[in-house]
């Protein structure tokens, strides 16, 4: 994949069609933005292909982003939707992943923007149309620096697609093994959802699921009822329901987010609470844990093995409800 230094500042709509989604680049080519004719917006940092903003038509932000996070490519982004690959956390006992940094290198690599595709606007006003825009990003072993290649010396390709609809956001990742030997990997979509008050939040759809409680010595437990957050929470769930059945974030009795997974068998639920947030230099404001919860689809309970020439695809679709 080749970096293009001189990208157009905006990608115009096709003549002859109705009002179309607009895609534009920041002046320094570090970000890609999209806007639907109905007002929904999306912003993605090429560093990590990290979604850093998703707003509804009224301008309400749906993702939580730390006020102290770096957006200059010097450090992984705290907030939004970072892409975790090829390891979740660290894996000192895994031969292939033992040398990799926390959460791997996808979230700290510069991705290439591959292009956009849009749905055609139906006749009539934009509010009645089925509008969407899909942005594609790529990362391969050829893009990695020498140090990262030495830590994980496999030929691979990643295609990350982010699709903005009027009431939903879909993020999907395709992993291909371009090597002549198999490799193991984990993947996670580290989604920080914005809420008004974590004390009023519950998470449905994980009832009966076993989970690893990383705050309690990685002990294995079973979720008896809906999930509520009242302290530091770091859990890896394996839901018993099909991935097509939603995991829902409910606030003050109203569903605000519904997450449907595709080929991602785990859901991580994370909130740092008071003490953990205080110890994270890039977490701000320090009481920001009251306004966020991470609900993160992934394949992280073990490692996936990908044979030469094979591909893996996993995705999430987050649907919002009006507040």
Positive or negative torsion for Cα 260, 318, 113, 98:
negative
Q: Is the pLDDT of residue 216 over 60?
A: yes
Q: Is the pLDDT of residue 2 over 50?
A: no
Interval 126-168: pLDDT, tens: 554 568 999 999 999 999 999 999 999 999 999 999 999 999 9
Q: Is the pLDDT of residue 209 over 90?
A: yes
Q: What average pLDDT does the segment 109-123 reach?
A: 83
Secondary structure (3-state) at 284: coil
- Taking the C-alpha atoms of residue 259 and residue 227, their distance in angstroms, rounded to an integer, is 15
**Token pair for 4:** 């293009």
Contact of 237 with 210, CB cutoff 8 Å: yes
**Token pair for 277:** 């947030």
Q: What average pLDDT does the segment 310-315 reach?
A: 98
pLDDT given at position 321: 83
Q: What is the band of 32 on the pLDDT scale with cuts at 50, 70, 90? A: very high
pLDDT given at position 124: 53
The annotation places the binding site for substrate at 78, 102, 107
Which is more confidently placed, 3 or 28? 28
Q: What is the band of 320 on the pLDDT scale with cuts at 50, 70, 90? A: very high
**Token pair for 294:** 């991470």
Contact of 77 with 83, CB cutoff 8 Å: no
Q: Is the pLDDT of residue 223 over 90?
A: yes
Average pLDDT, the chain: 93
Give every CB contact of residue 238 below 8 A, 6+ residues apart in sequence.
Answer: 209, 210, 211, 265, 266, 301
Which position has the token pair 């000192």?
Answer: 92
Q: What average pLDDT does the segment 21-37 reach?
A: 96
Contact of 237 with 266, CB cutoff 8 Å: yes
pLDDT given at position 119: 77
- Taking the C-alpha atoms of residue 192 and residue 195, their distance in angstroms, rounded to an integer, is 10
Contact of 172 with 154, CB cutoff 8 Å: no
Contact of 188 with 316, CB cutoff 8 Å: no
Q: What average pLDDT does the segment 207-232 reach?
A: 97
Q: Is the pLDDT of residue 5 over 90?
A: no
Tell me which H or E stretch contains 279: helix 273-279
Q: What is the band of 4 on the pLDDT scale with cuts at 50, 70, 90? A: very low
Could you say which architecture CATH assigns to the domain 20-320?
Answer: Distorted Sandwich (2.70)
- Taking the C-alpha atoms of residue 54 and residue 59, their distance in angstroms, rounded to an integer, is 9
Contact of 141 with 154, CB cutoff 8 Å: yes
Interval 59-100: pLDDT, tens: 999 999 999 999 999 999 999 999 999 999 999 999 999 999
What percent of the chain shows pLDDT beyond 90? Answer: 88
**Token pair for 54:** 């998703």
Of 258, 249, 271, 250, the C-alpha closest to 316 is 258
- DSSP 3-state percent helix, strand, coil across the chain (nearest 5): 10, 45, 45
* Residue 290 dihedral angles phi and psi, to the nearest 5°: -70, -15
Taking the domains of the chain in order of start, what are their residue ranges? 20-320
- Taking the C-alpha atoms of residue 287 and residue 302, their distance in angstroms, rounded to an integer, is 33
pLDDT given at position 15: 53
- Residues pairing with 295 in the sheet: 269
Give every CB contact of residue 140 below 8 A, 6+ residues apart in sequence.
Answer: 1, 155, 156, 157, 158, 178
The residues that are catalytic are: 190, 296
pLDDT given at position 310: 98
DSSP states of 34-79 as a string?
EE-TTS-EEEEETBTTEEEEEE-TT--B-B-B-TT---SSSS--SB
């Amino acid at each position: 994949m080749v970096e293009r230094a001189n990208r157009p500042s905006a990608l115009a709509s096709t003549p002859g069609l109705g009002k179309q989604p607009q895609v534009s680049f920041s002046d320094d080519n570090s970000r890609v933005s999209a806007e639907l004719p109905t007002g929904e917006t999306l912003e993605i940092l090429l560093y990590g292909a990290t979604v850093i903003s998703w707003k509804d038509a009224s301008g309400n932000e749906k993702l939580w982003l730390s006020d102290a996070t770096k957006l200059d490519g010097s450090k992984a982004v705290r907030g939004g939707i970072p892409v975790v690959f090829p390891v979740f956390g660290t894996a000192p006992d895994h031969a292939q992943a033992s040398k990799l940094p926390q959460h791997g290198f996808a979230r700290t690599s510069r991705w290439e923007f591959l292009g956009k595709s849009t749905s055609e606007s139906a006749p009539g006003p934009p509010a009645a149309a089925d509008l969407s825009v899909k942005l594609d990003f790529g990362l391969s072993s050829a893009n990695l620096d020498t140090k990262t290649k030495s830590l994980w010396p496999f030929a691979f390709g990643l295609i990350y697609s982010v699709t903005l609809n009027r009431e939903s956001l879909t993020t999907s990742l395709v992993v291909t093994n371009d090597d002549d030997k198999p490799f193991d990997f984990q993947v996670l979509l580290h989604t920080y959802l914005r809420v008004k008050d974590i004390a009023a939040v519950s998470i449905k759809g994980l009832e009966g699921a076993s989970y690893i409680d990383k705050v309690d010595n990685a002990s294995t437990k079973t979720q008896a009822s809906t999930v509520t957050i009242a302290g530091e929470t770091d859990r890896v769930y394996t839901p018993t329901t099909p991935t097509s059945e939603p995991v829902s974030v409910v606030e003050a009795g109203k569903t605000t987010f519904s997450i449907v997974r595709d080929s991602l068998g785990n859901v991580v639920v994370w909130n740092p609470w008071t003490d953990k947030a205080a110890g994270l230099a890039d977490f701000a404001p320090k009481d920001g844990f009251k306004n966020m919860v991470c609900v993160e689809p992934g394949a992280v309970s073990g490692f996936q093995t990908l044979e030469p020439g094979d591909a893996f695809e996993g995705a999430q679709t987050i649907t919002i409800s009006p507040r």
